[in-house]
Structure 1
């Protein structure tokens, strides 16, 4: 199995490598994912074949599953960064795209739960683009 990606949390406590290939890359606009990320959507990569190896910080990872749902979120307890998780009894690896230090290598497959997107998440391509922090 070839090396696919590596990543870490913001503080660097949790580091990982992934071997295998992505099957899909979804941008989820559901209210739960907006709450998780504080943004317009979650950007997650999915694989039933890839394997994750934790290089450090496994003890800093907490996983939360919203009761009565399949909604799962893993994060670093030090800095709060979203981190990969094994879901569906370990059959599915879900990796937040922003947690990767390497290129993702695929384009998003689809926007999902698009009908429930935030009202301000329309026509973002028309919003001014600034390359650095505004002054």
Structure 2
């Protein structure tokens, strides 16, 4: 890492879990699947794959729920904040982090809505982003 590379810090609601990342991967979508909606308590979840993740504090407070389909949802055992998502078979180093956790502006752009076949009936998508009934593929 160069001395000029920006780090982006984030934390859970109680602040006991904190982390920093070097950057973000492309292709960040709002996910409307029922698991993301329930995990985040909202119309959709927005998570991103990150580069250079370092846990600064509270890693021992990370708690996991493995869904019947094998995906893993990670949250703070103290405050319940949604931390992230992992596909089946992925390690903690491959976690997709919830964007709402970041404590500062981050250089990302949402580029799609995914799993729209499962969106809530009360959720109206009003932007011009591409919509995929399932994943991107």
CA distance in 2, matches of 1:32, 1:85: 10
Matched residue, 2:131 = none
Q: How does 1:59-98 map to 2 (within 5 A)?
A: 59-67=60-68, 69-84=69-84, 88-89=90-91, 92-98=94-100
- Normalized against structure 1, the TM-score is what? 0.79
Cα offset for 1:4? 3.8
Q: How does 1:1-135 map to 2 (within 5 A)?
A: 1=1, 2-47=5-50, 50-67=51-68, 69-84=69-84, 88-89=90-91, 92-122=94-124
Distance change >3 Å, CA 56–CA 89, structure 1 → 2: closer
CA distance in 1, matches of 2:59, 2:118: 34
- Partner SS for 2:96: strand
Query: Unaligned stretches of 5+ in structure 2?
Result: 128-137
What is the root-mean-square deviation in Å for CA atoms of aligned residues? 2.1
How many residue pairs get aligned? The number is 122
Query: Unaligned stretches of 5+ in structure 1?
Result: 126-135
- Partner SS for 2:122: coil
